[in-house]
Structure 1
């Protein structure tokens, strides 16, 4: 085979789509556990005695190590220096370890009655330990996320990049959808909040095995790069340097898309953490089915995110797509905040619209990063974006919403299966989510303006003809 006729392995449509499917399964398993506890607030309160503040503290723990110890940024640096195979395997192992700690915390009796005071906070030992496991898991799943993003750029740049990222997000969100719609019924049927977590633990074992299999395909891709003399050299120009971080931080377009990401996800992910109980309290949905309505959101994105990604690949308009998505998020939270709109059919309709908005922004946002940042810096750039997202959307906002609910939104309590369960009015949290959505729209508009100045090509198609 001579060099003029040689092709990269990534030029094979079959090879690159198989690679995508493998790494997407690993992320599917990660997303499955990421939201497995989201529908269980009432169950945790009833069976384990957790309060709304303790539940909010637990969900906010996801970003502890990523934010305060900068593990995610370190993971991005390791990714750029060591490559996707090393980074991905480490991430999959960390996800598995964190889930195991979380499972042990909510099943062991050795922590019963113990209270720990750490730094400025006092919580039951069980809450602290479960939060520790969730924080460890958060490191793994976030590093896995940036690794898979770089893998997709590696295989799909110049091809169907936005479609591939959209499909990966869709399959990952299938994990979210299954978690939101099945975790509560499984916990009720088994009379234990630990059962859904155990299922996730098993799936993460398979996710680790899947990534091990992927590493062999990645080696073949590197071999094809070497054969065409296109393999990245290990010169000093391609090594990670501090100036790479400084270069990213001096990029105004990167800041706009990073803040847009953090704010957009702040209006969606923390909402999903409370959405099941929100459906019970405002719309009167039965506990057994309350998780099915928020579960519509990720199910809808399974089709819509790839659709909008394909549109971006072929027609462009990435910045405009992000603006439209932000507008839809604002509309949904505004209508959720209206007290008179309390029929379950309205909840379903609004979740569908939220799903459209939730598909639009990520379908254009993640591929756009590859247009703003050079490929050799992508791992670090994604890590910095994910760090900001962790700090705001996955740690600060969930904890804030838990505090707001306990401080301002308690309306009373009801007896469910012999246990007292607190009831809430969710109008104030919905207004706060709407304000966050408005702020994300501002940065989407700023990003489009910056694209016009710098010529990133966010409004241009991704596929090179």
Structure 2
């Protein structure tokens, strides 16, 4: 995208004439000047809520697993198809979504458009439940998926645009935290909502109305997309920025030139996430069967990964910003998660221990992994790069969600846990290989925070020297 993200969005050319006046009126205040700390962090709050509705509704099936199985009269495999139908479109579409953000739509219009898909998909999903039509529900999850992961790509692109530098790990951690807040609220609220609505409706009608309540969070996130577009346009105009403007041309074929480190990051991402999200999707019944928990207690322990990560992600992101060494943090996160799955599979230790620890490990990995993309890919290709990462992740989630449901139906949860542990071993191998490859190329991804800052200052000095003198 050029010309300040196709500037007519939420603004006009006439506003450019007033930019100096605007800065003179509010440029000295903390909340109006885009260069100020407070302004950027107020925008960050809106940025974090951009995907709140998507994450809240993504795990609606997990929070209402027992009710869906009973009200819709479906099997575990059919239930897990709700997650697969979310993931299938993103095997391709979120890659093109990232490319469209870089090349055509821009991050502002892209975020609004993808938020509309999320809201529409949840409404269709709820409508399907209301009339007990599982195929309409599949279609709703498909539409929801078209927007969900591409919206995450837009959110990541926003984060790098506003906070690239020392704060990026913390910002990714905070975004992850707010996303997990959405999932956590869903896990703990949807069942009481279902019970409350059950006073007036029964069976699948109660389920459908409950899912319509969830759609309200998607509308809230859509409003955040409009607000963020306004703030981002104002930032580019006031600071005379050209969003993603340069002599660089974004081409789809440039993907083949992405470095090996980028593809290893993608492998780690998919191998790790398929051992977390599908497990949470099936965890409710697992804790009821193995530990003889009530649905309420099972839901509580199943949501611990999201609850812990909501609190821990920004803290670990801040710590990684201060320490650097991103690859070592990723390896630690994979190892700890592997230990947690082994504990759940082979022991009867209180599952609160394993799930709480898994939440910490997930926070560490996500906070360290996602910012590494911006360290190996130029900024004008970040939307495409994050789109590829989301696409690969969703290919894995789509396939593994189906396989996980089949394993549970035919072999049971012990074999399922061994299956997840095998994927974590693959993530560990890829992380070690990433460290070795990065080390042969200068160790950029695993620098300490101090050395990384020194290199950034050196690059900035070189760029200043290249600027022509007035």
1:25 aligns with 2:59: no
Residues 364-420 of structure 1: per-residue CA shift (max 9 Å, x gap)? 00111110111111000000010000000x2111100101111222xxxxxxxxxxx
Q: Answer yes or no: is the 8 Å Cα contact 1:58–1:127 preserved in 2.
A: no
CA distance 1:281–1:189, shift in 2 (3 Å): farther
Tell me what 1:268 maps to.
276
Q: Answer yes or no: is the 8 Å Cα contact 1:182–1:291 preserved in 2.
A: no
Q: How much does 1:57 deviate?
A: 1.7
Counterpart pick for 1:318 among 311, 326, 336 = 326
Q: Answer yes or no: is the 8 Å Cα contact 2:173–2:317 preserved in 1.
A: yes
Q: How much does 1:242 deviate?
A: 2.9
Counterpart pick for 1:458 among 446, 451, 464 = 446
Aligned mates of 1:233, 1:272 — CA distance in 2: 38
Tell me what 1:206 maps to.
220
Tell me what 1:255 maps to.
263
Tell me what 1:432 maps to.
419
Residues 181-231 of structure 1: per-residue CA shift (max 9 Å, x gap)? 2323332443333344222201111111121111111011111442xxx52
1:278 aligns with 2:286: yes
Q: Answer yes or no: is the 8 Å Cα contact 1:270–1:397 preserved in 2.
A: yes
Tell me what 2:372 maps to.
368
Counterpart pick for 1:445 among 432, 438, 461 = 432
Tell me what 1:79 maps to.
101
1:231 aligns with 2:242: yes
Q: Answer yes or no: is the 8 Å Cα contact 2:244–2:379 preserved in 1.
A: no
CA distance 1:281–1:382, shift in 2 (3 Å): same
Tell me what 1:106 maps to.
129
CA distance 1:9–1:374, shift in 2 (3 Å): farther
State the aligned residue count. 418
CA distance 1:290–1:189, shift in 2 (3 Å): farther
Q: State which drifts further: 188-197 or 203-212.
A: 188-197
Q: Answer yes or no: is the 8 Å Cα contact 1:315–1:460 preserved in 2.
A: yes
Tell me what 2:407 maps to.
404
Aligned mates of 1:370, 1:171 — CA distance in 2: 21
Unaligned runs of 5+ in 1: 110-125, 410-425
Q: Answer yes or no: is the 8 Å Cα contact 2:50–2:155 preserved in 1.
A: no
Name the SS of the counterpart of 2:298 in structure 1.
coil
TM-score by length of 1: 0.86
CA distance 1:52–1:212, shift in 2 (3 Å): same
Q: Answer yes or no: is the 8 Å Cα contact 1:66–1:72 preserved in 2.
A: yes
Unaligned runs of 5+ in 2: 1-19, 199-205, 458-470
Tell me what 1:43 maps to.
67
Residues 263-316 of structure 1: per-residue CA shift (max 9 Å, x gap)? 110110011101111111111111133211121211111221111111121110
Tell me what 2:250 maps to.
240
Q: Answer yes or no: is the 8 Å Cα contact 1:29–1:203 preserved in 2.
A: yes
Q: How much does 1:234 deviate?
A: 4.7
Aligned mates of 1:381, 1:257 — CA distance in 2: 11
Structure with more of its chain in helix, by fraction: 2
1:15 aligns with 2:39: yes
Q: Answer yes or no: is the 8 Å Cα contact 1:330–1:434 preserved in 2.
A: yes
- CA RMSD in angstroms, aligned pairs only: 2.1
1:288 aligns with 2:296: yes
